Copies of this chain bind each other. A is one copy, B any other.
Amino acid sequence: MLALNTATLGHNLDGHGAGWTPEEVIDVCAALGYGGITFWRRELGRRAQQIGERTRAAGLEVVGLCRTPFLTGPLALPSEREIMDDLHRSIDQAAALGTNVLTIVSGGPEPGTKGVVESQKIVADRVARVAEFAASRNVNLALEPLNPAMAGNRTCLMTAAEALTLCDQIGVQNVGIAIDVYHVWWDTTLHDTLKAQAKGRILGYHLCDWLADTSDMLLDRGMMGDGVADLRSIRCAVENAGYTGYCEAEIFSAENWWKRDPHEVLKTIVKRFRKFC
């Protein structure tokens, strides 16, 4: 089943994207047969509950919320207190929205440290400290490993294996992982890792493609079928590990798809999903 991550429409920021309200996104997705939507916090304002209800009224599921603040690294909020406060707020927003998946992007190496190991420990600690609160709000936390290209400032979790190891260390029911094609497509150990460690731990599966000549690590993702990722094989690995949720299209593409008519983008995703995924 197909879902839309609203980042695919350009975040309505910086002149990119549809400029659509959440309600407009909901209506068009419902009309095109999408099963659900994942929103970003910036789109909710104080309307999380309202937008959640509106989504369900249109026959769609709220698949997830993007995302917690960075928990470590140079892009994180300046103090631990601010990070933890915002982390709690993100859980509240997920609960108000009525979704049970909140994505965690860990953040990169803590300033002053070398490598990623120390930062991974801090992430594990901070997630563990909010896990019970999240459970009380019926929210699961999905650690998303990111492509090593982003390990300088956005992530200290680069592989599914590392994210799953962190889950095991945290050791609670409501912490799992999200698998995003863009971040893991290159990892030839993915099948074995998911088979051995991921049973019941996968909380999200994100679709796009890796363009052979990717020009910008953050904002040049490809439409499914236009790149070199083996999309069928990755989906198999995810579903063989017990994942039965949505395939969520999440295409950051500042110079291509964000510049197109969003109706065209949404229709193309439906076609490409049937053909390539």
Contact = CB atoms under 8 A, between A and B. Distances in A.
B108 A228 contact: yes
A40 interface: no
A171 interface: no
Contacts of A185: 115, 151
A122 interface: no
A81 interface: no
Contacts of A189: 161
Contact of A117 (B74, B188, B210): B188
Contact of A188 (B108, B152, B153, B162): B162
Interface stretch (A29-37, A124-132, A229-237, A241-249): A229-237
A163 to B, nearest CB: 12
A228 B152 contact: yes
Contacts of A187: 148, 158
Nearest to A189: B161
A114 interface: yes
A31 to B, nearest CB: 31
A3 B233 CA distance: 43
A184 to B, nearest CB: 9
Nearest to A74: B212
Interface range for A: 35 or more
Contacts of A111: 212
A229 to B, nearest CB: 7
A210 B152 contact: yes
Number of this chain's copies in the assembly equals: 2
A98 interface: no
Nearest to A111: B212
A113 B187 CA distance: 16
Contacts of A147: 148-149
A109 interface: yes
A122 to B, nearest CB: 14
Given A109-B228, A228-B109, A214 B152 contact: yes
Interface in A115-167: 115-117, 120, 147-149, 151-153, 158, 161-162
A149 B150 CA distance: 9
**CB-CB nearest 3 A-B residue pairs:** A115-B230, A149-B149, A114-B230
27 contacts: A74-B212, A74-B213, A108-B212, A108-B228, A111-B212, A114-B228, A114-B229, A114-B230, A114-B231, A114-B232, A114-B233, A115-B185, A115-B230, A116-B186, A117-B188, A147-B148, A147-B149, A148-B186, A148-B187, A152-B210, A152-B211, A152-B213, A152-B214, A158-B186, A158-B187, A161-B189, A162-B188
